[in-house]
Amino acid sequence: MKLQNITISRLQKLLLNRKISPQEITQALLARIREKNSRVNAYLTVAEDEAPAQAGVADKRLGKGDGACPLTGIPLAIKDNICIKGVRMTCASKILEHYVPPYNATVIERLSDQGYVLLGKTNMDEFAMGSSTENSGFAPTRNPWDTRCVPGGSSGGSAAAVAAGMCAAALGSDTGGSIRQPAAFCGVVGLKPTYGLVSRYGLVAFASSLDQIGPITRDVRDAAILLSAIAGHDPRDSTSAPKQPPDYLSKLGQSINGLRLGLPKEYFAEGLDPEVAASLEAAREVFSRLGVQFQEVSLPHTDYSIAAYYLIAPAEASSNLARYDGVRYGHRTSKPKNLLQMYYDSREEGFGAEVKRRIMLGTYALSAGYYDAYYLKAQKVRTLIKRDFDLAFTEVDALLTPTAPSPAFRLGEKVTDPLQMYLSDIYTNSVNLAGLPAISVPCGFTANGLPVGLQLIGPAFGEDRLLTIAYAYERETDWHTRRPNL
């Protein structure tokens, strides 16, 4: 039995039937990390001490019989911008290289309540700013399917860890596609929840009106299990929706016959890789066999989403990252000449090139005389993008699109061309601007053996519908069962 490839749902049964212990699966995955992480660099911090201790606690809980939860004894990886008390959190930035949070994020509290096992903190683009995990302040993560390629970003470490069998599942964060795009590049499932469904308390802010925590898993059922554990209202997050999440597992397996899927014509235009387009066409045929009806729809303001996103997100980042000043916590330059020089040098030494680029862009967009011309106008475009989706969902139940315009690209291929890198998220960032849920599911491979993902977009708080549709597709294909040969 290859423990590194077992899903959460399968592990649950093995643990409850006492055919395997939390210690066994934890030690197997820690061994896998020790063996493979040097090739992939998915982890920044490995919980060598914490994981066995938590596994022992989970084992006692399972032994009681009535104290087990769906994630009791399940080893998970956590993106390194989510706070875990007493465990180093860097956001893949030199400015936070030695920071240890004094508190848990809400999602960590909820996982802890269920008795999960922490394997470690995963690599990412610095402060979640990037689409390839090449912007990590330490070293890039590599794609397990081809280590010459990127795993996507910014949650590239989480996606690579799942794909490489170095955890049962992982949490990532998604500001403009940072869960879905790496999930597509690594051949796993990635779900970006509706804004406000999952608490952001304890998530280090990049762009507060866009950020959302979500699961990265091997299959759709596991995504439903992990989402069920972390979703729900949190009074400590002022943007948390006061809604009771539905039972996401109860609708898996229902027929999707008669459902209407919209095909946004703007998402199937010039620039889409032919092999990605072919995989999407094959997926359409699968859905058609399941009784799904297709309808072309239009999202006319899609062309403005990249421009709007790269004004709003950097503007919010400029504000959020102002706290890293060398005074309260994080990196402080040594022997500054004066207070002002300490601010300058601490930020110059601590932040990487992409973070600096976005801070400067955001500061400019918010500056006197430019606020109305740039930031305010971008917010108005955001409203129009949201209206496009609202109108589309009066005609269809969900939207089917590519997750990314191409499969994973080579390391270094786009680092000198920021615009080309930003265009990697052209099919994902409008979802964040509208605050909607979306899921990426494996739907094929290129001739070179690189995974391709399809994206399903739903109306606000329509995660149960998306999971039902994705699960129906997944049961008809085997793309999600394939594993890279490391």
Structure tokens at 114: 């269920």
Q: What does the radius of gyration of the chain's CA atoms come to, in whole angstroms?
A: 21
Task: Give the model confidence (pLDDT) of 431-476 as tens digits.
Answer: 999 999 999 999 999 999 999 999 999 999 999 999 999 999 999 9
Query: Could you tell me the pLDDT band of residue 1, with boundaries at 50, 70 and 90?
Result: low
Cβ atoms of 105 and 90 closer than 8 Å: no
Number of domains observed in the structure of the chain:
1
Cα 118 to Cα 49: distance, rounded to the nearest angstrom: 10
Whether 210 and 432 have beta carbons less than 8 Å apart is answered as yes
Question: Exposed (0-12), middle (13-18) or buried (19+): which is 57, by Cβ within 10 Å?
Answer: middle
Query: 415 or 150, which is more confident?
Result: 150
Residue 67 is predicted with a pLDDT of: 74
Give the integer Cα–Cα distance in Å for 254 and 190: 21
Residue 66: band (very low, low, confident or very high) from pLDDT cuts 50, 70, 90: low
Average pLDDT over residues 180-193: 98
Query: b/e for 95-126, b at 16 or more Cβ within 10 A?
Result: bbbebebeebbbbbbbbbebbbbbbbbbbbbb
For residues 401, 407, 412, 414, the Cα torsion angle rounded to the nearest 10 degrees is -30
* Per-residue pLDDT reduced to its tens digit, 338-369: 999 999 999 999 999 999 999 999 999 999 88
Residue 200 domain flag: yes
Phi-psi category of residue 298: left, alpha or beta, with phi > 0 → left and psi -120 to 50 → alpha: beta
Q: pTM above 0.95? A: yes
pLDDT the model gives residue 349: 95
Angle between helices 106-114 and 220-230 (to 10 degrees): 110
* CATH code at position 104: 3.90.1300.10
What local confidence, expressed as pLDDT, does residue 416 receive? 86
SS3 382: helix
C-alpha 194/C-alpha 459 separation (Å) is: 8
Hey, what are 40's tokens? 């992939």
- Residue 342: inside a domain: no
Question: For residue 208, what are the contacts with CB-CB under 8 A and spacing of at least 6?
Answer: 200, 239, 316, 320
282: tokens are 């094959």
CA 189 to chain centre: 10
**Domain assignment present for 318:** no
Does residue 474 lie in a domain region?
Answer: yes
What is the average pLDDT value for the chain, to the nearest integer?
Answer: 96
Q: What is the pLDDT of residue 269?
A: 86
pLDDT computed for residue 369 by the predictor: 85
What's the rounded mean pLDDT across residues 209-234?
A: 98
Residue 445 within any structural domain of the chain: yes
**Percentage of residues in the chain with pLDDT exceeding 90?**
93
Phi, psi of 77 (to 5 degrees): -110, 145
Confidence of residue 71 (pLDDT cuts 50, 70, 90): very high
Percent of the chain predicted with pLDDT > 70 = 100
Catalytic residue ranges: 79, 154, 178
DSSP 459: S
Q: What is the pLDDT of residue 112?
A: 97
In a domain, 351, yes or no: no
Q: What Å distances lie between residue 15 and 20, 59, 391, 433, 458, CA to CA?
A: 5, 9, 46, 40, 34
Element (H, E) at 63: helix 50-64
Sorted by sequence, the CB contacts under 8 Å of residue 32 that are 6+ apart come out as 4, 164, 165, 166
8 Å CB contact between 245 and 126 = no
The answer to the question of residue 43 being in a domain is yes
Which residue range(s) make up the domain with 407? Answer: 3-258+397-481
Look at residue 388 and tell me if it is in a domain. no
**Nearest CA-CA partner of 185 in 148, 162, 159:** 159
Tell me the per-residue pLDDT of 116-129, one tens digit each, with 9 for 90 and over: 999 999 999 999 99
Return d(Cα 271, Cα 277) in angstroms, integer. 10
